[in-house]
Amino acid sequence: MFHATTILAYKGKNKSVIGGDGQVSFGNTVLKNNAVKIRKLSNGKVLAGFAGSTADAFNLFDMFEKLLSSSKGDLLKAAIDFSKEWRKDKYLRKLEAMMLVLDRDHIFLLSGTGDVVEPEDGAIAAIGSGGNYALSAARALAKHSSLDEEELVKESLQIAGEICIYTNTNIKTYVIEDDK
């Protein structure tokens, strides 16, 4: 069984940030330490990250990117259309991957069953093997520190990487800043 990744997304006051670790594991073996599981979409206005089967995730990325393009970069519309397509297609329903997508207005978790979930607080979401560790760290740091958004994501993923055996500390982040 593949255990692949921890992805954390944070929509803060000034920036939206997504980050992920670089580990891909198969059973008790690390296959790769420097995988990049996040992407900039829609000319950098949307960020996306995946957890789960890599091949399945690439299919999901491609499909989501097409829907995002056809919705002219409207993340909410693309997420809803994505869910509709996922539920209609028997092949997609068997894919073993999840995605986090965000822009400056929205953050969504797209589940392996076609659900579109907006986090309760509208600001922090995580997926993958170390997702709950990163989410817990991010919530605590958001509440009790003055870290900026990118540093909060990096530190939360660092904490997850120190706890979860399927997560490493080879962290990559992407940022969307408010237009100035």
| Residue from 144, 142, 172 nearest 157 by CA | 172
Judge whether 5 counts as a catalytic residue: yes
6 in a known ligand binding site: no
Amino acid in position 107: I
| Helix or strand holding residue 113 (H, E) | none
User: Would the annotation count 161 as a binding residue?
Assistant: yes
Q: Which domains does the chain have, with CATH numbers?
A: 2-177 (3.60.20.10)
Q: What is this structure's pTM? A: 0.93
22 annotated to a ligand binding site: no
E strand or H helix at 83, and its extent? Answer: helix 75-88
- What per-residue confidence (pLDDT) applies to 1? 42
Distances (CA, A) of 148 to 11, 15, 47, 166, 177: 11, 9, 18, 26, 12
Count of other CB atoms within 10 angstroms of residue 44:
12
pLDDT of residue 145: 96
Selecting among 5, 6, 54, 173, the annotated active-site residue is: 5
Q: Is 136 helix (H, G, I), strand (E, B) or coil?
A: helix
pLDDT score for 80: 92
- pLDDT digits (tens), the chain, 180 positions: 445 689 999 999 999 999 999 998 888 888 899 999 999 999 999 999 998 877 777 888 888 999 999 999 999 999 999 888 877 776 666 677 889 999 999 999 988 677 899 999 989 999 999 999 999 999 999 999 999 999 999 999 999 999 999 999 999 999 999 865
The dihedral sign for the CA sequence 103, 161, 147, 120: positive
Go through the chain and tell me how many residues it has.
180
